Every structure is written in C-alpha cells, then in structure tokens.
Chain A
Amino acid sequence: MKRIHELFVGLSLVAAVSGCAGKDNLIVLTPDDSGRVGALKVSNDGGEAVLDREGQTLHLGDRRTPPGAFAPVSAEERALFAAALAAQPLVPVSYLLYFEFDSNNLTAKSRQRLDDILRAAQERDSQDILVIGHTDRVGEADYNAALSLQRAEAVRELLAGKGIGAEFIQVSSHGEGNPLIPTADEVAEASNRRVEVVVR
C-alpha cells in the first residue's frame, strides 16, 4: 500500500512538473531486440510532438492539451507497465529444416532440430504452426511442386509424431519458386531443399 501511495505522489509530481492537471497519460519509446529505437508522432488539437530516443517519455493530457514535456522514463513510471510486460507474448520463431537430394528425408542435422520446434510450440502453447515446403531447381517445376508438398507433409507427420496436434499445423508449398539462394535452372543447391517452420 505504501508503495502504491508513493507511486501516486511520484505521478502527481510528474504531472505538476509537466503541467498536465491531474491527467497522467504517457508514452515511452522502447528499443527492439537489437537495441534500435524507432520514431513516432503524437498529434492532437493542441499540436504535435515527435519521440525518437530510447526511453524518451512524453507526458500528455487530453486531446486539447498540447503534447507536454519530454523526460527520461522513471522507475515509478516503468513499474506501471509491469503487468502488461508480464503478459507480453513470445515473438514467433521460424526454423529451416534441410533435406537430402530428391527426397523427403531430413538431413541428420535437421532431424535434431525437431525437438527445438516442439519446445518452441510448447512454450507458446501454439495452435498456429506454418510448415512451408521448398525445393532446389533440379528437375521439372511440376515435379518440384509435388516434392515440396511431400517435404512439408513429411515435416507435419514428424511434428505430429512428437505430440503437436496435426490440426494446428498448416501446410503449404512453394515448389522451386521461392529459393533461399537464387540459382539457374537445374542447379543443385542444398540450402534450397528445405522446409520452413514458423511457430506462432
């Protein structure tokens, strides 16, 4: 309770300093995983303001109040977001699995990745898994369209065998049309013989 009280005192001080009467609306800019910060603009009937530095905080009133003073974010302000931050979902993750030449057999190394995919699905309680098949450009396009689908279906079987509900896995295939490494026709390229798995 004391903590909450302190928080309110802190906030009313902030409000007093920035000149917004009792309304403690605020926006805090945060970095992405690689530390990059973007830029956004807040506009209302009173004017506009741009935020473009990490941790930069803009205090705001109602729509008529000009966007207020900038300040670095305080510990008290960060604490306001604890519950929302705890509820933040995990970012979707994607995996590439590779295949032996002209086959829907996974390479030994890729076979070992299946447990990582299972773990990612469990961590996310995922019911939304995309499996997308591809081939290299050796062989006819039609043949490769069928092969890429067989590869994707093989991966779905393997994941279902590990306990992921098959109904949560959406299979699609791109044949030889969406290579990771573009090549001329009839060129064997191991890194294009793949299935992408996206766990959302």
Chain B
Amino acid sequence: MKKILFFCTTMLLLGAFAAAQTEPAHIGRVKGTSGMVSIQRAGSLKPAFPNMKVYLNDTLLTGSDGAVGILLEDNTLLSMGPMSRLALDKFDFSPAQNKYALQLRMEQGTFVYLSGLLGKLAPHAVSLDTPSGTISMLKDTNFMARFGGDE
C-alpha cells in the first residue's frame, strides 16, 4: 500500500512538473480585425488586435460592427462577421506523431471556413459544433455558415 502511495505521489509530481515545463503553445493568430473584437480567455475578456496569438480554449467574439479573421497553425483560415462567437475547443497538428484534431464551436453569427492542412491530411479529425448540430468533414471542404444562436 505504501509503495502504491509512493508511486501515485511520484506520478502526480511528475505530472505537475511536466505541466509547469510546457508553456502552452499558441494555435494560431488573429490576422485582421474591424470594429469591436474580443477574446475571452480564462474568464476575462481582452480586446483582440492583429497578430495577437490565440490559444486553446479561447473564445472569439465580435460586436455589432465587428469582424475578425484568424489563421490557425495548420493554415486553416476562419473569419466571422458581426455578433459572432467562436470557441476553440481542440487543436492538434502534429504530423510527425500522426496526431490530428480540430474541434471548434460556432455558437452564433456568420462564419467563413477555409480548410487548412488538417482538413487535407485528416478531414475526419475535424468536427464543428453548431446550434443546429455537428458538422463533420468527409473531405477537404470549405463552407460558409450562419447561426442565429440559442433564442
């Protein structure tokens, strides 16, 4: 029992160490903004500006005059118009380890999606949650979408 406890403690410490060592990598950048655009990160809201890095679990929001374009690290291009909300839930682009994942939540607004390398190399790893249901890619695909949000 003592041995198991020691093992668990060691693993916990190792886990904490690993977490402290790896600074979270950005998954993309804001490329252009107009009007009011914000990023919700760890509970606080900050204004978005060009070349700002975006991270996993960020939510991008635009005001009634806002629009924004972002470029993810795999070259996926996403832009959205006024009164839009997009959450970046999952992103993994590691061709060397053959690991791919992209999960976004289009909560409300207008979106233009231009597929990047994730869409080309692993379309089945791309899944987008929307108020109307889940979009899954069968091929490398571009689309536009509008969602009124939950009313």
Contact = CB atoms under 8 A, between A and B. Distances in A.
A44 B134 CA distance: 6
B59 interface: no
A37 interface: yes
Interface of B is mostly: strand
Contacts of A40: 135-139, 141, 143
A31 B143 contact: no
A125 B50 contact: yes
Interface residues of B, number: 47
A26 B110 CA distance: 10
Nearest to B65: A83
Interface of A is mostly: loop
Given A38-B138, A65-B132, A67-B133, A23 B143 contact: no
A29 B138 CA distance: 13
Interface residues of A, number: 49
Interface in B101-151: 110-112, 114-115, 119, 123, 130-148, 150-151
Nearest to B71: A89
Interface stretch (A55-63, A153-161, A186-194): A55-63
B133 A84 contact: no
A144 B133 CA distance: 53
